[in-house]
């Protein structure tokens, strides 16, 4: 199989490699094999290799994907793989992006959890049947892979837009009874470049590898502009 991999930073070119096809081979397996056997200087990120850490996202044949859980047979087009870094993030080297903007926007969207209890207090008892908790749980499993951020066209043309992941995070906190700054997070998520900038195109939801719907979370924030913050007593 032919594998074309981006080499360089913003300026660069594709280099071609040939890798044997193997059973149950993932894209990350292919990149790792090339780095170990053919191109030791190839830069890429990974950590867990099992779809938990969100480190190994890349653009594969034009679409952002988590490479450790993407099988070659699912995405290879006529025996060719084209692998690039994620879109919408500055390129550092080869397949590695600078994630700085992505995580700073989490902070800008009020994504930092702020508890009101001290270590002397008993742990908060959270009612898992509370509708707000159910809503938060639906969006909570984000692995910070930046695939939604890469897939989003609004991020591509508006560099101030906070992006789907940061707003999805804000929505979980707005629905989290343990978060002591729900109002502040809500205000930040509606700041300049916040959820009002979303065009509801849905690319984030379509590409999210863990099947979260940031579109739904952003729609929730927009609805809350009219209905107010979600109630915590379940009513």
Partner 1 sequence: MERTLFKAQRISAILLAPWVLIHLGLILYAVRGGLTAAEILDRTQGSLFWGLFYGSFVLLVTVHAPIGLRNILREWTPLKSDNINPMCFMFGLFILVMGIRAVAAVVG
CB of residue 161 vs partner 1: minimum separation in angstroms? 9
CB of residue 216 vs partner 1: minimum separation in angstroms? 18
Q: Are 85 and 59 in contact (CB under 8 A)?
A: yes
- Cβ closest to partner 1, residue 171 vs residue 190: 190
- 177 touches partner 1 by CB under 8 A: no
Q: To which H or E segment does residue 207 belong?
A: helix 203-207
Handedness of CA 199, 92, 113, 148 (dihedral sign): positive
- Cβ closest to partner 1, residue 40 vs residue 228: 228
CB of residue 198 vs partner 1: minimum separation in angstroms? 11
Best CA proximity match to 198, nearest among 232, 231, 149 = 149
Cα gap 191→102, rounded to integer Å: 16
- Cβ closest to partner 1, residue 93 vs residue 222: 222
Site string for partner 1, 213-232 (x = CB under 8 A): ---------x--xx------
Cα gap 86→35, rounded to integer Å: 19
DSSP class of residue 60?
E
Q: Are 156 and 87 in contact (CB under 8 A)?
A: yes
- Cβ closest to partner 1, residue 95 vs residue 154: 154
Listed ranges 9-17, 62-70, 74-82, 191-199: which one lies at the site for partner 1 (CB under 8 A): 191-199
Cα gap 155→162, rounded to integer Å: 8
Neighbour-count burial for 145-179, b at 16+ CB within 10 Å, e otherwise? bbbbbbbbebbeeeeebbbbbbbbbbbbbbbbbbb
- 190 touches partner 1 by CB under 8 A: yes
- Cβ closest to partner 1, residue 227 vs residue 235: 227
- 63 touches partner 1 by CB under 8 A: no
Site string for partner 1, 130-159 (x = CB under 8 A): ---------------------------xx-
Listed ranges 57-65, 129-137, 138-146, 192-200: which one lies at the site for partner 1 (CB under 8 A): 192-200
- The residues that touch partner 1, with contacts defined as CB under 8 A, are 157-158, 160, 187, 190-192, 194, 196-197, 222, 225-226
């Amino acid at each position: 199989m032919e594998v074309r991999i981006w080499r360089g930073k913003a300026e660069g070119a594709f280099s071609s490699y040939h890798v044997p096809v193997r059973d149950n081979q993932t894209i990350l397996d292919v990149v790792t094999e090339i780095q170990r056997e053919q191109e030791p200087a190839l830069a890429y990120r990974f950590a867990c290799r099992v779809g938990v850490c969100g480190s190994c996202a890349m653009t594969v044949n034009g679409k952002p994907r988590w490479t450790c859980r993407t099988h070659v047979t699912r995405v290879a087009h006529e025996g060719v793989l084209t692998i690039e870094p994620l879109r919408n993030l500055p390129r550092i080297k080869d397949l590695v992006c600078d994630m700085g903007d992505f995580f700073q926007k989490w902070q800008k969207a009020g994504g930092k959890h702020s508890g009101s209890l001290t270590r002397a207090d008993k742990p908060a008892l959270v009612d898992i049947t509370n509708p707000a908790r159910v809503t938060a749980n639906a969006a909570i499993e984000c692995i910070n892979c930046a695939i939604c951020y890469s897939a989003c066209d609004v991020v591509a043309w508006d560099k101030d837009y906070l992006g789907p992941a940061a707003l999805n995070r804000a929505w979980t906190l707005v629905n989290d009874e343990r978060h002591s700054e729900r109002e502040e997070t809500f205000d930040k998520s509606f700041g300049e470049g916040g959820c009002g900038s979303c065009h509801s195109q849905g690319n984030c939801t379509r590409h999210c590898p863990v099947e979260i719907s940031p579109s739904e979370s952003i729609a929730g924030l927009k609805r809350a502009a009219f209905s107010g913050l979600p109630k915590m007593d379940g009513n």
